[in-house]
Amino acid sequence: MQAVFLDKGTFSEGIDLPAPMGVSDYITYNDTPKDTAVIIERCKDADIIITNKVQIGAEVIEQLPKLKLIQLTATGMNNVDQEACDKHGVALFNVAGYAVKSVPEHTFMLMLTAMRAGIHYHQKVADGTWLANGNFCLLDIPLIDLEDKTLGIIGIGTIGNRVTEIARAFGMTVLWAEHQGREPRSDDYTAFDEVLARADVISLHCPLNEQTEHLINKDTLAKMVKQPLIVNVARGGIVDSQSLTDAINSEQIIGYASDVFEQEPIADNDPLLSISDHPRVIFSPHNAWGSKSAQETLWQMLSKQVADFIDNHH
């Protein structure tokens, strides 16, 4: 079977990405433009498309009669028209669980850097501010410990569970948020609005869908009475960028640490860029998932899925 990998460049250089077993014709592209005609041309003979974030809509799928499988190199499936896959008998697979170490560790990198103003202090050392100050230490922005703070987690899957474990090791109290507007399903969960009101840090780990789009907005931010730090390693669209920016500027929240944005790469007119110099704001370029071991694990899991699919379709 022919497999076409449309955006191999989303993996780090040096990560080995061999063809899965059963793939006889393996074609790779470092990246693929957002151009329907180009995607169709590259995939016209493909049985299998492998991609991370290339948008594959109905107009592409219906022009590829040979296509049997779209295999994503990610967990989120927002970039593929799932209805069109069903209509044309195309299987759609994602890969989940490969970043259960990488994303939680990145979550705490962001959290600690914001709570302790890490980028701010790095710059003060590098630009000579500390030297000019003359004191043995510089403490113009308070350092905030995680111990004894309350962490509210929105989205309790494998990653949310691992974040819980690490948070408890830091001595944090952890609250799991129930879905907005629902009664807590068990004693393990706390009502959504109560989590917003009680949390010193809110960490987002939920999928992006109709229920979660702009979940963090003017109204929900107004319920965060403890001026929390918000950490987003989920999807950019879960946060309304303008409302978040306003909340930072009005000191409604203490900071924002995010790996994800509504448009990626971030648009040059995204209001979040206007707060990038804030001492408790830190951004990373959607790479929380991508530790070296996570990338290798992802490809192993993907390769097995594709090989099994080919076995079952011979």
Residue boundaries of the structural domains of the chain: 2-96+292-312, 102-283
The pLDDT value given to residue 76: 84
Q: Please give the average per-residue pLDDT across 131-139, as a whole number.
A: 97
Among 115, 192, 189, 198, residue whose Cα is nearest residue 150: 198
Q: What mean pLDDT comes out for the span 257-262?
A: 98
Confidence of residue 113 (pLDDT cuts 50, 70, 90): very high
Q: Is 313 a catalytic residue?
A: no
For the residues 248-273, what does the mean pLDDT come to? Answer: 97
Residue 106 is among the residues annotated as catalytic for this protein: no
Q: Which of 120, 205, 235, 280 is catalytic?
A: 235
Q: What is the mean pLDDT of residues 123-146?
A: 97
Nearest-angstrom CA–CA distance, 302 and 97: 11
Q: How confident is the model at residue 75, as a pLDDT?
A: 87
Give Cα separations from 53 to 5, 135, 178, 304 (angstroms). Answer: 11, 49, 29, 21
Q: Is the pLDDT confidence value at 100 over 90?
A: yes
Q: For 147-205, what is each residue's pLDDT tens digit?
A: 999 999 999 999 999 999 999 999 999 999 999 999 999 999 999 999 999 999 999 99
Q: Which of 42, 106, 120, 286 is catalytic?
A: 286
pLDDT band at 69 (very low <50, low <70, confident <90, very high): very high
Average pLDDT over every residue of 39-60:
97
CB 56 within 8 A of CB 81: yes
Catalytic residue among 182, 185, 264, 313: 264
Taking 80 as the threshold, does the pLDDT of residue 314 lie above it? Answer: no
Of the chain, the percentage scoring pLDDT greater than 90 comes to: 97
CA 175 to chain CA mean position, Å:
21
Rounded Cα gap, residues 184 and 246, in angstroms: 30
CATH architecture under which domain 2-96+292-312 falls: 3-Layer(aba) Sandwich (3.40)
CA distances from 76 to 57, 84, 137, 199 (A): 15, 17, 44, 27
Q: What mean pLDDT is reported for the chain? A: 97
- Helices marked H in the chain: 36-43, 58-61, 82-88, 102-115, 118-126, 129-133, 158-169, 192-198, 218-222, 241-249, 292-312
Say if residue 87's pLDDT is above 80.
Answer: yes
Q: Which fold has domain 102-283?
A: Rossmann fold (3.40.50)
pLDDT at residue 270 in the model: 98
- Is there a shared CATH topology between the 2-96+292-312 domain and the 102-283 domain? yes
Q: What is the mean pLDDT of residues 199-228?
A: 97
What is the model's pLDDT at position 133? 96
Q: Could you tell me the pLDDT band of residue 310, with boundaries at 50, 70 and 90?
A: very high
Q: What was the pLDDT predicted at 78? A: 86
Do residues 68 and 311 make contact, with C-beta atoms less than 8 angstroms apart? no
Instruction: Give burial (CB, 10 Å; 0-12/13-18/19+) of 271.
Output: middle
**303/17 Cα distance (integer angstroms):** 9
Going by C-alpha positions, the residue among 8, 308, 224 that lies closest to residue 239 is 224
The verdict on whether 286 is a catalytic residue reads: yes
